[in-house]
Amino acid sequence: IGHTRWATHGSISEANAHPHLSVDGQFAIVHNGIIENFEELKQRYNFHLISETDTEVFVNLISQQNGDVLDKLIAASDVARGSFSIALLHKGENKIYLAKQGSPLMVAVGKNGCMVASDSSVFGNDFDDIFCMEDGEFAILEKNGVTFFDKNKQKIEKTPILRELFDFDEQNTQEKYFMLKEIKEQSAVLRKTYFKFFSQGVNIDIQAIRKFKSFHLVACGTAYHSCLMGARYIQELCKKECKVTIASEFRYSDNLLNKNCLYIFVSQSGETADTIASAKLVKDSGFSVMCVTNVPYCSLNNYADYILPTFAGREVAVASTKAYTAQVFTLLIFASMLSGKDMQEKLKRFVLNFEIALLDDKILQEIFKYKKIFFIGRGQDYFTCLEGSLKLKEIAYINCLGIPAGELKHGTLALIDEDTLIIAVATQENLKEKLISNILEAKSRGAKVIVLSQFENFFKEALQINLPQFDEFLMPIVSIVPLQHLAFEYSIKLGLSPDKPRNLAKSVTVE
């Protein structure tokens, strides 16, 4: 058993790394999640610990319980509070004991053995059956199979999930880095998404969804940015109110829930802890939930009245690229279907003609001179700025900002000087003059300006990254690609790992 875990308790050190052993040396454990009452348990049992982790408390809690190994695991899980997926070894046994509460846990069975993981993508094509464990379930994994139990130690018969719903693409790639591979795959992802919705058909009850008078999108990080764009599509095409809230704020706010509102929760993995908790809150309160995920069997979808799938395929790099464009495009398709407007031909022309274009070296070398960078834009371009700046923060560790261009004069201008780079995203005809005024505000204070636009010679005194010309509502998908590539190249320039940035995890399964 092993676990590459995002540090939640204690420093990143050998002592705090998984697996953890019990003091008596009888048990070893790996754990995904957080034991919220670990300090209380540590005091109650007076454990002698060598790490700062909640996980070491848990494995010693297991060793202190009565009965056989499964009895001990069930009893300890009843005492522990929080979220956890557990894989446990007992000395002398060729078995792995499993427990699930809150965090994801999946089991695969095949002719060559069995495997357990928190994400089905690691199973590949090597297994015949895949099982999703539910909260409060336990299991014993052996070479020839798996047996599932409830908290009363009664055996459970579980049905394997449909393997064909998963995308187990081979990960052999000519690219050295997954992030660059995934940036280049985005045009193919858009074509696949179009095909899935308009040729194969996606089973979603649009007629039922049309009865809702308003919508509220909830997500974290990159998915939150896709929600901002999705809300704009819904409001513009459907003329219905649409709010967007960060999930970690939604779950602790006094939300006035409304039966005439559909609450839409967006997560690439479907395992984002704050998003799941927010969906559960809405569902438990008796209101309607739609989930937008890239994984058909995930914790988030357990709370869904409606499921809107995305088709990004497997995304390995921690910084999301193709999952973001898949979410934005899927929410656009959803809004068009909801509105009843026939946009199929426009979308078809787009996916058939859009190709990924990477930044040239001249532009990159100019950008590399700066470590104080502001992304500015208005309307839909502001959302692109937020996502572009997040990418640069995530993998190049550059302290940059994405801000509405009109807000420069309300404080941010104080930070701008000759050491500042302004990247201006300009894809909207009706806002060209306003954005030029904002660019002049920054340039007059010494800032270097680079423009990202499909409009020729948008600002003559600036370097320009030229974008291909498509319908304006599609330009947020086009304009984000150069910013993704910028972040990737800046990371490489600094000698960093773009696929595995420090302090971050691909799927944030803890609060």
Q: pLDDT for 231-260, tens place per residue? A: 999 999 999 999 999 999 998 888 889 999
pLDDT for residue 170: 47
pLDDT for residue 291: 97
pLDDT for residue 162: 61
Can you tell me the distance from the alpha carbon of 321 to that of 323, in angstroms, rounded to the nearest whole number?
5
Q: Contact 29/5 with Cβ under 8 angstroms?
A: no
Q: Minimal CA–CA distance to 248: which of 268, 282, 219?
A: 219
Q: What is the pLDDT of residues 195-217, one digit of tens each?
A: 999 988 888 999 999 999 999 99
Place of tokens 């899935």: 196
Find the mean pLDDT for residues 429-443. Answer: 94
In sequence order, the 6+-apart residues with CB closer than 8 A to the CB of 181 are 173, 175
The region of weakest confidence among 4-13, 167-176, 181-190, 354-363 is: 167-176
Find the mean pLDDT for residues 51-59. Answer: 89
Q: What is the pLDDT of residues 320-375, one digit of tens each?
A: 999 999 999 999 999 999 999 999 999 999 999 999 999 999 999 999 999 999 99
Find the mean pLDDT for residues 110-134. Answer: 82
**In Å, how far are 33, 241, 380 from 273, measured between CA atoms?**
10, 26, 28
pLDDT for residue 42: 86
Enter the tokens of residue 154: 């009664």
Residue 9 has pLDDT above 80, yes or no: no
Q: Contact 225/387 with Cβ under 8 angstroms?
A: yes
Q: Contact 263/219 with Cβ under 8 angstroms?
A: no
pLDDT for residue 166: 54
Can you give the three-state secondary structure of 177-195, one letter per residue?
CHHHHHHHCHHHHHHHHHH
In our burial notation (b when 16+ CB lie closer than 10 A, e otherwise), range 19-55 reads bbbbeeebbbbbbbbbbeebeebbeeeebeeebebbb
Q: Would you call 486 helix, strand, or coil by DSSP?
A: helix
Find the mean pLDDT for residues 306-314. Answer: 93
pLDDT for residue 498: 96
| Strand-by-strand arrangement of the 113-117 sheet | 113-117, 106-110, 129-132
pLDDT for residue 224: 98
Arithmetic mean of pLDDT over the chain: 91
Element (H, E) at 90: strand 82-90
Report, in angstroms and rounded to the nearest whole number, the Rg of the chain calculated over CA atoms.
Answer: 25
If one compares 126 and 482, the residue with the highest pLDDT of the two is: 482
The region of weakest confidence among 118-132, 180-194, 381-395, 458-472 is: 118-132
pLDDT category, 120, cuts 50, 70, 90? confident
Residue 171 has pLDDT above 60, yes or no: no
Q: Give, in degrees to the nearest 5, the angle at Cα 123 between 72 and 150.
A: 30
The total number of residues shown for the chain amounts to 511
**Helix runs in 285-397, H state only:** 322-339, 344-353, 361-367, 380-396
pLDDT for residue 168: 47
Q: What is the pLDDT of residues 482-499, one digit of tens each?
A: 999 999 999 999 999 999
- Neighbouring C-beta atoms of residue 475, cutoff 10 Å: 23
pLDDT category, 154, cuts 50, 70, 90? very high
pLDDT for residue 175: 84
In our burial notation (b when 16+ CB lie closer than 10 A, e otherwise), range 3-13 reads bebeeebeeee
H helix count then E strand count, the chain? 15, 20
Q: What is the DSSP string of 181-240?
A: HHHHTHHHHHHHHHHIIIII-----HHHHTT-SEEEEEE-HHHHHHHHHHHHHHHHHH--
pLDDT for residue 236: 96
Rounded to two decimals, the pTM is: 0.82
pLDDT category, 165, cuts 50, 70, 90? low
pLDDT for residue 509: 60
pLDDT for residue 278: 96
Find the mean pLDDT for residues 440-458. Answer: 94
pLDDT for residue 433: 94
